[in-house]
Chain A
């Protein structure tokens, strides 16, 4: 007999103990002529489904299994109770996160579906039961779940192997007999590995002898951890980094033999035991797992007796139609009938009922929610209340969501108020049962930064050095690391460019896309009818929830229902704004913003003026620039704006013709008259995916289902031949309808050009509903809206500092934080004329202190620092932060007959804390403010004794906010001397004027461009507004490192100010700017951790820029 099948194979889903992807392993197996391959990752089936699918596609038989960690089988009690010479050393822990365990290894293979389910159950029970304990399978569980499984005795880290290596043959025999009892007769093999170590011959011979004595068959494996020999270095690096040690790592591997060897090489190694190689073929033959991919498995819907899921869905939908459409139109009726019949034909009513169930719960608890994505194309989701955009009014096509020609699992994503999302999740667990619900996993893979850190740690570099290596590296694939280091300006003088780090760079680039962590999907839940552990292994995630070992693609492949319960902070902000506004102006004075008609001109004026900071989906610098050119006038314009500023339309450069045609700068031309009507709203440009379907229907007579299949065919990077086929089919159909061949060709060319880049209009329409609501609130309740945005940070495009600056620019007063006025959250005062800064995001602030402060203040205001400390028992770091941001300014009186300065309070603080600690709560009058040994007021004009620069630096450091003023407003005189143009004056400047601006960096983005050139879009802010700067590649090459390493810049360039391109500065010179006040005192712009008692400290988070020479002065 010849041939061999590898039955013990680790992919990179063994998390830091495997190098190759399942695809790579399969390719190597296929190249070796093997017609089957197993995957046995540590402690799980993380890569099993993608391996299974890829194997079937490659024509290789997949064998699914796992290498588990199991308790000792050859000794009673604890290993430590044995005499030292009888103990076996246990290997380092294997497995990911809380599924990791240290113990003896055992290889399990699923023989059939029953075996697969048992393997899932065994892993799930072990991982979920153990909680924080190491995850180790018990023999009892193995016995219980062994049906349909084939067991192999494991690698040298298995108990039998370890016993043989330790010369404890008797124990090895005992282990084999015990393990064999756990499996069906003939389903347990003694696993032989000849790893070409000096011990290997003795190891193999010892195991063969034991197997013979126990009457067990032997099988040969190679403990594969990488596909090809030269990848052993990556394996060593991963194992070392995974075990938090340096090379050679926890296993101290003596050689590089754990690769996927050919059948002839394996048979040569086992020339003395050919039956071990034959057994691999026999096992592969016995394994006949069929996962039955392609069928769907829905959770049980709550259906009353005598009803079906369809009948319930149908009744709910018709009831919803009455509420949504007044009056009901024939078109709506026709459409609902059609959609319900398709849903019934495809067998999806239970899925819709499940989603509706969850949405209904949220609405019953006033938890704001809204559907998104292609689900918005359906009238069923609209009338069920899942989505909020009318599909008929906005020309949304059901076939884009559910194509009757393609039976694919529908995907309805719903955003919930992120603060109350946990209530929805709790309901899902209660409603469907904890055994039927789990969260979806995500696999986080290495990018350039993480790969560099991993390789550097393994190579033994210290943490400071590792930080210096990864700092300033852009977020790119590590495969591009050598190119990025050589060409990116921000990497100029990067330490990795030194020759001694060439190996590190080489290793890091080879680690590209290696899985690092199993994360938890932001909101994906799996809901199953059967207990979920029969479908997939589960484990505890770091955040304390049970998570599947499969990601969303695996779940979809299995045909299970995945619900995205996403948290949207904008929903929380909208709810908060409404609540704040209603508390100020009355409950009935503020309508529900989601129910407003979309026709308020003031709202569109606000958007068109690019005054959109905080608005959902409309606030980014690109969107603001687009707003100035688009000048939104109605709801369709909002949908267009959301759609146009997306990677696809941007890459296809759809914006330029759209804007030019809208302003009449070029004619609207379409190759076929039918397209004129379809593309009327987008001026003849194919912006939406739905338009592709409509054009194919109108020009070539496709049904919408056929048209969607055509769109998908065009989207999926087909070969030239395949595309030609699609082209010929389209043209033939069009010509048959009397369309000229040249016209049909031109229509197809346009469809082909835009199909891959178009955006789903339904998704944009669903978002536009939220955008309009946020725009309306910002227009009418700006103070409440801003306070709510700040209370729900982090969210949106901008930092809290910029949002607060935006508040100030709208003429709303920014009130400083104060212990007698501020709560944890930002609040609105002076009848909507002021926003009071909250203390919740202050450095070192605790929720306990916030609560105590509120309770004590309700009794009486705090009179001074001592009173505050005594009544709240504030921790010293929090008290220090409060003093530094001025929250105690003006409280108390010193001997100098004035309130103590911040310096004095900071100096007094430790002393007061010590006194309070000694005296407990007794003796109200024993604490007196004594003059502290501190410097006197630096600025006698302010109660704090600090200069504006000191106050501002402290605010930025402790709160991340500029409360006193915008940082650059302190340097106004200097900037005017330098001839700087302010942001508010830019619209009045001429197109192509040469100007100089100064701003604090808010965002710097380098998105992908069609030309492949790097362009940086820099958003800066000065005291008067936002400035958009475009840095093209040549300037970026010169100033890229300045952008990355500094926070404020002086930028010179040519202003672009026209309706076609909007307002932006094309930079040709960028210099760092160190912000100093008139007294030449520096303002530190970076948020950091405060140290020392004497005011704003240097050092903080280690920012170098403020300590550099003031090159611009």
Chain B
């Protein structure tokens, strides 16, 4: 069936739970990832780019991340004392801006990850050598 197969085969009509589309994480994850990666869908939060490359609900704070060297991506992160295992890497991108101005310089490697509670944008700040939570979307 080609692309978006998980979306196409998903049956939302489950008796007794009309508003809860997903009954379990294993059915939810592929559908969300496909939606997020679909080339035809533009998220409202992405309509305007800010300095990080994305807009949306912006929160920037230090965060502790466990790095997985093999896929070269975060494995989990700790937010408000709770550890969030990363269910999927939705997207990654790099930011390198204003390098000529030490006060405004931005040099980051960013990961949009799907984890418990929604979609998180994590960024590794190359200049400061630290991890940041730069956005919680949805």
Contacts and interface: CB of A to CB of B under 8 A. Distances in A.
Given A198-B46, A198-B53, A205 B97 contact: no
B66 interface: no
B94 A202 contact: no
A982 to B, nearest CB: 55
Contact of A459 (B49, B96, B100): B100
Given A167-B42, A205-B39, A209-B3, A248 B97 contact: yes
A163 B3 CA distance: 21
A256 interface: yes
A197 B93 contact: yes
A702 B38 CA distance: 77
Contacts of B53: 197-198, 254
B91 A198 contact: yes
A825 B94 CA distance: 66
A248 B104 CA distance: 12
B58 interface: no
Interface string A598-610: 0000000000000
Interface string A244-276: 000110000111110000000000100000000
B78 to A, nearest CB: 25
Interface string B85-107: 00000011111111110000000
B27 interface: no
B91 to A, nearest CB: 6
B49 A198 contact: yes
B96 A254 contact: yes
Contacts of A253: 96
B54 interface: yes
A792 to B, nearest CB: 48
Given A198-B46, A209-B39, A248 B98 contact: yes
A196 B39 contact: no
Contacts of A248: 97-98
Contacts, number: 56
B37 A254 contact: no
Interface residues of B, number: 21
Contact of B96 (A203, A247, A256): A256
Interface centre among A209, A248, A255, A503 (most CB of B within 10 A): A255
Nearest to A202: B39
Interface in A125-177: 164, 167, 169
A46 to B, nearest CB: 28
A201 B95 contact: no
Contacts of A205: 3, 37-39
Contacts of B93: 196-198, 200, 255
Nearest to A164: B39
A535 interface: no
A196 B123 CA distance: 13
Given A202-B39, A206-B39, A209-B3, A255 B96 contact: yes
B99 to A, nearest CB: 6
Interface string B54-67: 10000000000000
A395 to B, nearest CB: 61
A233 interface: yes
A232 B100 CA distance: 12
A256 B97 CA distance: 9
Grouping DSSP codes into helix (H, G, I), strand (E, B) and loop, the B interface class, with mixed when no group exceeds half, is loop
Nearest to A204: B39
Contacts of A232: 96, 99
A254 B91 contact: no
A958 to B, nearest CB: 44
Given A205-B37, A209-B3, A209-B39, A198 B54 contact: yes
A203 B91 CA distance: 13
Interface in A438-461: 459
Interface string A476-507: 00000000000000000000000000010000
A255 B37 contact: no
A254 B99 CA distance: 11
A970 B3 CA distance: 91
Contacts of A198: 46, 49, 53-54, 91, 93
Given A209-B3, A247-B100, A503-B100, A255 B94 contact: yes
A202 B54 CA distance: 14
B98 A255 contact: no
A268 B92 CA distance: 12
Contacts of B96: 232, 253-256
Nearest to B102: A503
Contacts of A268: 72
Contacts of A197: 53, 93-94
Contacts of B94: 196-197, 254-257
A257 B95 CA distance: 9
Contact of B92 (A167, A196, A459): A196
Contacts of A254: 53, 94-97
23 contacts: A167-B42, A196-B92, A196-B94, A197-B53, A198-B46, A198-B49, A198-B91, A201-B39, A202-B37, A206-B40, A232-B96, A232-B99, A233-B99, A233-B100, A247-B100, A248-B97, A248-B98, A254-B94, A255-B93, A256-B94, A256-B96, A459-B100, A503-B100
Interface of B: 3, 37-40, 42, 46, 49, 53-54, 72, 91-100
Given A167-B42, A202-B37, A256-B96, 16 more contacts: A197-B53, A198-B91, A201-B37, A202-B38, A205-B3, A205-B37, A205-B39, A233-B100, A248-B97, A254-B94, A254-B96, A254-B97, A255-B93, A255-B96, A268-B72, A459-B100
